[in-house]
Structure 1
Amino acid sequence: MRPIYFPSQKLGLSGGTTMLCDPPVRSRRRAQNAVRFLVAILIAIFLDGGSAAAEVVGRSPRVLILHPYDEWLPASAIAGANARARLQEATAGKIDLFSEYLDQARFPERAHIDRMARSMADKYVDRRPDVVIALGESATRFIVEHREAIAPDAKIVFGGFGRDSVSKLNLPVGVVGAFSEFDITKTLELASALQPDAENLFIIGGSAAFDRTWLANARRDLADAAKDYETTYLEGLAIDEFAERASRFPADSIVLFLTILADGTGRNFLSKDALAIVAAKASAPIYGPYDTYIGQGVVGGNSVTFESLGNAVAGLALDALAGKPITDIEVPQTFFADARQLKRWDLSESALPAGTALSFKQPDIWQQYRRLVLGIIAVVALQAAVITGLLVERRRRFAAEGESRQRLLELVHMNQSATAGALSASIAHELNQPLGAIRSNAEAAEAILNGKNPDLNLIQQILADIRDDDQRAGDIILRLRGMLKKRGEVDWQEFDLNEVVDSAINILHAEAAKKQVAVSAQQSGRRLPVRADKVHLQQVILNLATNAMDAMVEAATADRKLVLHTTLHGDTKVEMSISDTGRGIPKDRLNSIFDAFYTTKPTGTGLGLSIARSIVETYGGKIWADNRAGGGAVFRFVLPLAQAA
């Protein structure tokens, strides 16, 4: 029983404290103290009745884990490791853990068992365990027989075998376990589900005592199920003979591998190592009752996992150390399978019982790279959204560009009409000249014909003059029609820029004569091909030239000079400049003269230069203005050569 300490000051039993009170008070306090003392005694009795002998006070608890075989046996090693881990975690490391390996597979003799008992009794004489965890039937039998010598006051917790084995051990009261039922019929159930057409059943077991126990249990438990198969038990063989027989199993066979801790020659094995030797040569699928066989060649089976066994016995040990009542528990069983072996034997994964733990399953792309796939999908979706947005924006931009071009064409047409209106007086004057000449020549011819001896040669000359004047008038009208013609789209052409300059000079001729401006052209000696709308470039030249002539109104008549100059600009562009001898452009306005609605004329619209810039930029060019050193301004624009464009 854990001692219960009651500090006297807290219970009011100190004489020094009570002497300071009046007699009535002292009597009342004595009664209260008596009640408290009685309650404390009752609590102590109650706790003593429910406490375990293994309850520890004043030191770390001690737990001894007994393994039936050596440290390499996977079953007890895994169970023991999980038990230790849970005990360490639950006590925050404040626990003393001991492990002993009885090695009874290799040393089953009674003399060895007695020597082990005496050795442990001496070893733990000063550190008696509070709880002993026995893993397996032989370890449980050992500690029960030698409990008084090794751990007389310890609680015993066992695990790793079933209720049938417990009944044979005749365990004393208070020995509690985690029952592990290794039901071989469940393993056969799994095999039958995977191989419904199997006709042969082979059961393999070794020659050690534990192996023979397994074989005896299998004969008993499989008596009914084995009737559905041609059943053969393979036992007492050398390991090589097991492997050789396994290589000759019919394809429609189910093979149950129990344990081989020793073969027929007395050679000792870990069962999983023996299984690996046999499975490597087997010609039919192999199943087994331990999950430690996974990875050694078995397809699957049914078992209590040794991890869950270790956790279960550790839980019982913790309850015992805490003084809690403990009772026997069942460790749950589970089906298990190896995905690689299913694939090797072409067995369907869908035939596995529900809840089967499947090992070594190759994850699909979604399982293995889920985050990456989601990331890629997100990126692709984002890219698709961006591309869709860009396509929509591109379509809108094309529509806007088309509309802008249409507005530009309309503005150009309006500008052409305005230019034609501004030049109408000059054009009319220019047109009157050939028309007047035609009339005069016609009257002269009529007068000659009315004479007695008409001079036919003179009449022929007059008719030639009439034809030339008519051609001249027709050209004037044709140029005017070109200016006034409205276009619904750009008329792309390849032409010589010099031709457009000549055409513009012809249109400006009358206006220049009216304003007494001397117009001259300095053209490149070579052809300057560009690709654009010829009428549009003609309009640019007309806009710049008419502005230049307007800027020279205040200049002396002799100084009014307009020069149109074309040249090659580098290897890929052509340049045209239009210079005048006017008043020039204020420096602070050089950067704003091409802005829409900017004008210095009282009656100007401010669109001429803006339209000129839009036209030049539409055809891949650039336009700018400077002041000439000798006075006046010069407007320049460059366009790409047709070959470069």
Structure 2
Amino acid sequence: MNPRWRISRILGCVLSVISWLISASVAIGVEPKSEVVVLFSSDTGLPATEAIRRGFRAVLHPNDDNGPDLYEEYLDAARFPGPAHLKAMASLLEAKYSGRPVDVVVALGPTALEFARQRKEKLFPGAKLVFAGIREERAGKLILPPDSFGIVSKLDPVETLKLALDLQPKARQGFIITGSASFDKSWEAIARTKLASFEPRLSLTFLAGLPLESVLERVSALPPDSIVIHLSMFEDGTGRTFVPREVAGKIASAANAPVYSVYDTYIGQGIVGGYMDTFDAVGLAVGSLVQKILAGEQPTGGAIREAETHKFVVDWRQMARWTLNAANLPQGTEIRFREPSVWDQYKSYILAFTAVLLLQSALLILGEIRSRKLAGQLAGESKERMEMAVTSADIGLWNWNAKSDTVWTSERCKELLMLDGRASLTRDEFIDRLRAPDRPLALKRMADALASGVPCIAEYPIDLPDGSERWILSRALAKGGYKDKGPRDHILGVVMDITERKRNEDAIRESEERYRVLAETASDAIITIDRKSVILFANPAAEKIFGHAVSEMLGNDLTMLMPDYLRRVHQVSVDRYLGNGERHISWEGVELPGLHKDGSLIPLELSFAEYISDGERRFTGIVRNVSDRKRAEEELRESEERYRNVVETQSELICRYRPDTTLTFVNDAYCRYFNRSRRDLVGAKWVDLIPQPARAAVLRHMKSIIAHAHTVSYEHEVQRPDGTVGWQHWTDRVILDADGGVVEIQGVGRDLTELRQAESEAVRHRQELAHLTRVSVVGALSGALAHELNQPLTAILSNAQAAVRLISRDPVDAVEIGQILQDIVDDDKRAGHVIQHLRSLLKKDSAIRTRIQVNDLITVSLAICHSDLILKGVPVSQRLAADLPEIDADPVQIQQVLLNLIMNACEAMNGKPAKDRLLLIKSERRDALLRISVVDSGDGIPAEAIKELYQPFFTTKSLGLGLGLPICKWIIEAHGGRLAAKNNSGGGATFFIELPIAEEQRHDRPVSDSVFG
């Protein structure tokens, strides 16, 4: 064998074995990927959601091949609030992840955290919990399962408001915007608590839970020097849902004051900035935390730690829009969208250009000394350097030679004017880049420049291919020959892009126009004065308030609008302020009288501020005529006095109280009822006057009143001064604030104790009457009952005598004697049942309800009447439905009604031949009711008696009292049922009893007709 071939085979085998070993080791070392489930509180459309998702994916999935398996689930709680949706999501996730070894669950946002906290062990058993997107205020209240780690965010409206005040030190009013979703309301509560310390330095107004259109309308007409803080609006007052970032853009566009926030996703939508967490950074922090946990490391900083991602962030464009001074920004503020100045961008080029110019000057001087030839050579070189310098400085050059009608342009000039690449153009071709209306003026300016030699400066718009425009500044100067000594035959020019400057100028003009429109349309007077109190500006509203024409006020002293005593102190106060800054009066919302042109005094409310214009100190004030308000206040005082007089003289109890039941007002009648002074009652909680067992029901009722903000009437027990329990009837009406919140509740009440006692007495009398009626029924059935008792007693006697005879025989027949004794027992039980039913009818106990079968009750009642029916010759037919549900009722009272109706039916058939008599008893179900029908074949009910049938003491019987049917009706209605009667088409009458089925036995059934409609 060839040795070389053998060596090759050996090497091949070795390589194969090595390859197999490597593959095996790799296969053995492969571990299953970790699994991470990420729960988002919202949907995929929220910018904050996408930012956080971007951040943690950048850490956990730097490429598609590495990292754990990520599963993302969106709870969408903002659009689908409520436990039903979350329960459905839990069922879906349980089915989806059942049996999967999830290592980490990431909950982003409060809803996701609460969802995971309650269901983690069921949905993701053994998984560690990581959470983020939780405010630090909420973190302290969390009760978390073991193996939970979180990053809390500091979304601080306090620091944001401090930033706003640093940028707007003259601001006096703040407007806080939140929506009506539960998340929005939590922000409102935090802001109300944390920002309260800024008052009275800053008057705060909360635009909370309003329709978005109302918010936009409010922020478009805010007072001067206002601050707007937009926190969150997932839902507005009409129930519409939004993406808060989009709402921020609408608010910033509509507002006439700077808007701030705590969310960095709002940056770029028109807000100035704020103290905020960057959601991308939060995502990176979450990703790093999950990465450590999956690697088996213990996270540092504790289970819950504060994110180090918050800082001040501002939008440079909005700073410029509102002319806010960047020098007032806190150190370390992140400035976004900052556009560097020409100096910042081209500092090195400008310096180089300057150096080139200096070098050029030196070369020109040197060239003048040497020779014109050398000067020409150097001039050519200088031209090249000039082109390089101006190109670096973003300036375009052009040169028109009038003799040859050629225009040379630099590359930058071609770019700015959108020229083609030709080396030279004619003048007309050069001018054609301008808009048609501007071309004649441009040609005239060039001609004038050649004729006069005066520099020409002009601004022109250029249309761009995309439909937008670019503004160009052109500076041109006509020149002659060498050393400019010959006739002017060419024009040198530079062009610059001034589009951004024009936009800023347009914005300033729009702002000034808005101010002008605001001033001219405002209902309040706006007046500006200088340091000597000379009126420099007054709007039309000032003319309406003071009666002077605007032309009469301009140039005159402000004191012309003041009464004498204010004139004497006004200028002294102004001079003192200008000298040492001491204010004589408040500058915000001060009330002073003004002087009308006709000499009358006007009540005014003034707010004014100082500003600098052209280096001069000036003062602008807003003056409001509060005559109507003063008149309304006076009328309100008079109305309140009249109200108090009326209230104090009322016999009814009147009070006002806060939502927590703390009394704020009680009238004399209220004090007399509880035998306590007004001082003792005001400040106390009226719920303490309710007996303890009744308080829970009353408090539930109170919550309903506050939640629905409506007027309601209700009754409840009270503890009377003598220790007894009384009853009161109250009608409560809620009093709302401007935002629709419940401020107080006013109640008007009256004592119902005597009425309740009378009702109880009436019930007692009815029960006694019902008992007497039962006694009378038993009396009427006495003969039949005697017969019913006589039968079993006779049978017992006969059987006992037979047993005596059998015992005397020999041998004794034990079997037959046993049968006789069993008959005696049965007859005894039969007699006992009759006596028991008789006792139940005669007993005078309180009604006791129990579950009963209607058919059993009918059977027992017919058994009691059995003998009476036979004696009266009335056959009975029964149509009792099977499997009827039970009812909750007092069996004695229902039996009393049945016996009464059966006896009435028998009496109604007395005049009929025996063959025509028939008593029919039916039972059936009608929806949630059971119906018992008692049908007779008598003469029916007279038409005139139908309406009077249930009136007490009305009867169609010669010896009747007229109380049987009224008592029956009262019994049935007390059981929640109804009693009715009708004449049969074939003769006779039918009485119907309808009683409700026991609650838990009701089932959905087709609707059927009822005699009660």
TM value normalised by structure 2: 0.32
**Greater relative contact order: 1 or 2 (C-alpha under 8 angstroms, separation 6 or more)?**
1
The structure with the larger Rg is: 1
